[in-house]
Amino acid sequence: MPEPIATLVEKSSLPAGGRVISDTLRFSILPLRTVLRLQLGVRSQKSVAALRIAGRSLPVAMNSWMGDDPVFMRIAPDTWLLESALHEAADLVQAVRSGCGRRSFAVTDVSDAFVTIAVEGALATALLARGCGLDLSPGAFGNAACARTRLAQLPVVLRRVTSERFECLVDRSAAQWLYEWMEDAAEGL
Amino acid sequence: MSAVRQALAHAGKPDELLVARPTVQEAPLSAEVGVPPRANGRSDRQWLDYQHDVTLADVEIARQEGYEHIEHLKRYTTCGMAVDQGKTSNLNALLTVAEMSSKSATEVGTTTFRPPFTPVTLGAVAGRQTGARYAPQRLLPAHAEHEALGAQWWEAGGWMRPACYPKKGETVQQAAQREASAVRSGVGLFDASPLGKIEVTGPDAAKFLDRFYVNSIAKLEEGRVRYGLMLNENGVIIDDGTVARLGRDHFLVTTTSGGAARIAAWLEEWRQCEWPDLEVFVTPVTTQWATYAIAGPRARQLLARFRTDIAFDWRSMPHMSLRQGRFAGATARLYRVSFSGELGYEINVPARYGATLWTELVKTGADFGVTPYGLEAVLLLRLEKGYLHVGADTDGTTTPADVGWGEIAAKKKADFIGKRSLARPDNQRANRLQLVGLASSDAHLLVPGAHLRLPGTAEGSDGWVTSAAHSPALGRMVALAMLRGGRERLGQTIFAHDLERKGEATVVSPAFLDPEGKRLHA
């Protein structure tokens, strides 16, 4: 009888290292991050300004984000995404539970359901505009903006990190397809 | 490739088409643009708009009723409002109005032009949605591993899924027969990752879910799993799947793979719009988990090759149960469920471990013949058991009673979506189409879509075959069908018609194999 299999290793078939199209456009699939989905009940939403998770405030305005790590994004009236490259999911879940206390809430680890694709450069907006209906001009979608929207027919959460950097959370199963769409859409830019 | 896809593929790149886009002369309208069409003396036979059937008489009536402005006339007569947006009619109308009002065409003016008055190429409409980018393609966590095993791919609900893993020289049908037989005699592995998964949490989660299912969910014990049917307001089956209770206020719903997004939206709509008073949260987690079905009499032997803290022996983990723990070092949810009729488990691990778990399962089970199986074999195995395939065996009229769930639905005291509609007289007719099994000595007669006729019926259809295949376990054709008043006809002979073929079939119970369920309770 062989030794039982004790450890599975993480494996991704997604392209690593990213793609540099030009000095003005590059995109890359980022290493897997912790992503939590936090939902608050109706009454809890009203007191969100007073809520602290790991000592940090949550964004109150719809479609806005704040924080460096974890990043908090409000993507729906009752839903926030927490994204982190530094924190383990279990630790962050515990921080959410402590912060929410007796509030009505649900927190779910969805780290494996999402892949983050970063799009950078002066032409980042032009690339995204080829598949996204949002007005991504800085006046309409500034550096504090995020939104659940559609990109290349896919549901995504798009976040403007800086004037020339966006991060796009896409379902893991469709990440390869979106990456290839970006390669195609970059032609002629 | 569909006709649309072919057309778009031939359309080429949008940028190329933009170069070739026709240019349109947009010269200012002059009084010398032409004369209104006058073919004969009858104004009711003189068409101005060939698409919307607007005649000169219609314009005359519009003017009589005071619709003199060209914009008013357009709305009254609908002239220029067809799909060509007036390309072939606007000029006819405005010249006619000019003539009637003794004005120049410039004075009459034009209506607002909307696309596609100016020609738009198909390529511009398609944008980048051509070729491989026509529609998003979803890949399994172990896509490359399936490819390495020689998977023949099926596109199902946007996912690329293995239909089967043909060996050299095998057809798809032969591969499916071999794979299904291996499940019955040994152990098979199936990638069920696209199976819809939705977490439902909150103090009202049980009450919330109870309102969706035909059978009771609220009384489900922790660690247990229940199969259920979901209906729309008309009492029609829209999905099926399981509900597992992970904790007092924590449930995990599974849906059909194709219904994952639709059912999540359905739950969310009722939560937000109809029952905002309930304290409940709905979270889709389909792609968070890689899911592998391990089915067959030797399923436990394969699981035993992995280090885990989950007790999965038959006493600790009965059929229709779920346990959480660690499996080969990863967080895991292990179901004991079966869509094959065999002893079956479904192991769920975070998707990042999906590829290596698949590889390890194949490698570790090699010495006792573990067999990867695809969708073709899955559908064959469930057909032998008479398990329902929503969307194949059901359509937009099928109620629980039609598939043998009438008593369960009638017994449930609590209300659920669609319950009221089940009491409609038409839903209680005895001669509704009902799910039955069919047997025939003619191996080619029972094909999906073949129509059925009862003895003495000379025309029309009394039902049709919904699923059919050769059963490797039974060595003959098996079929499911929707037959008028079917359950009252067990043992009767009916007639099946497929194109020019006609033959006899016997109405039997849909459960062809192991109707007592001994194999899955092993």
In the three-class reduction of DSSP (H, G, I as helix; E, B as strand; rest coil), residue B236 is classed as: coil
In this predicted structure, what is the pLDDT of residue B120?
74
Quote the CA–CA distance of B18 and B207 in Å, as a whole number: 56
Q: Is the pLDDT of residue B331 over 50?
A: yes
Residues A29-50 have a mean pLDDT of 93
Confidence of residue B452 (pLDDT cuts 50, 70, 90): very high
Confidence of residue B34 (pLDDT cuts 50, 70, 90): low
Q: By mean pLDDT, which of A1-10, A106-115, B310-319 is the weakest? A: A1-10
Identify whether the C-beta of residue B483 lies closer than 8 Å to the C-beta of residue B507.
Answer: yes
Residue of B nearest to A31 (CA): B352
Q: pLDDT digits over A152-173, tens only?
A: 999 999 999 999 999 999 999 9
The single-letter code of the amino acid at B472 is P
Share of chain A above pLDDT 90, in %: 85
Identify whether the C-beta of residue B306 lies closer than 8 Å to the C-beta of residue B221.
Answer: no
Which residue of B139, B300, B301 is the best one to mutate when testing the A interface, meaning the one whose CB has the most A CBs within 10 A? Answer: B139
| Cross-chain Cβ contact B289/A154 below 8 Å | no
Residue of A nearest to B286 (CA): A113
In the three-class reduction of DSSP (H, G, I as helix; E, B as strand; rest coil), residue B502 is classed as: strand
CA proximity to B199, closest of B348, B14, B356: B348
| Cross-chain Cβ contact B304/A4 below 8 Å | yes
Min distance A110 CA to chain B CA atoms (Å): 6
CA proximity to B322, closest of B271, B246, B392: B246
Q: pLDDT digits over B119-167, tens only?
A: 777 777 778 888 999 999 999 999 999 999 999 999 999 999 999 999 9
Query: Where on the phi/psi map is residue B118: left (φ > 0), alpha (ψ -120 to 50), or beta?
Result: beta
Sequence-ordered list of residues with C-beta below 8 angstroms from that of B260, at least 6 positions apart, any chain: B157, B194, B195, B196, B197, B198, B284, B286
Q: Is the pLDDT of residue B4 over 90?
A: no
| Cross-chain Cβ contact A181/B133 below 8 Å | yes
Min distance A8 CA to chain B CA atoms (Å): 6
Q: Is the pLDDT of residue B11 over 50?
A: no
Confidence of residue B459 (pLDDT cuts 50, 70, 90): confident
In this predicted structure, what is the pLDDT of residue B124?
76
| Cross-chain Cβ contact A113/B355 below 8 Å | no
In this predicted structure, what is the pLDDT of residue B441?
86
Identify whether the C-beta of residue B345 lies closer than 8 Å to the C-beta of residue B299.
Answer: yes
Residues B346-357 have a mean pLDDT of 98
| Cross-chain Cβ contact A10/B353 below 8 Å | yes
Min distance B254 CA to chain A CA atoms (Å): 16
Of A104, A176, A185, which is closest to B279 when you measure between CB atoms? A104
Q: By mean pLDDT, which of A65-69, B12-16, B106-110, B501-505 is the weakest? A: B12-16
| Cross-chain Cβ contact B356/A9 below 8 Å | yes
In this predicted structure, what is the pLDDT of residue A155?
97
Q: Is the pLDDT of residue A51 over 60?
A: yes
Q: By mean pLDDT, which of B13-17, B445-449, B456-460 is the weakest? A: B13-17
In this predicted structure, what is the pLDDT of residue B249?
97
Identify whether the C-beta of residue A48 lies closer than 8 Å to the C-beta of residue A60.
Answer: yes
Confidence of residue B299 (pLDDT cuts 50, 70, 90): very high
Min distance B484 CA to chain A CA atoms (Å): 42
Q: Is the pLDDT of residue A113 over 90?
A: yes
CA proximity to B255, closest of B242, B268, B244, B265: B242
* Mean pLDDT estimate for chain B: 91
- Interface confidence, given as ipTM, is 0.96
| Cross-chain Cβ contact B136/A152 below 8 Å | yes
- Residue B274 has what DSSP assignment? I
Residue B304 burial by Cβ neighbours in a 10 Å radius (0-12, 13-18, 19+):
middle
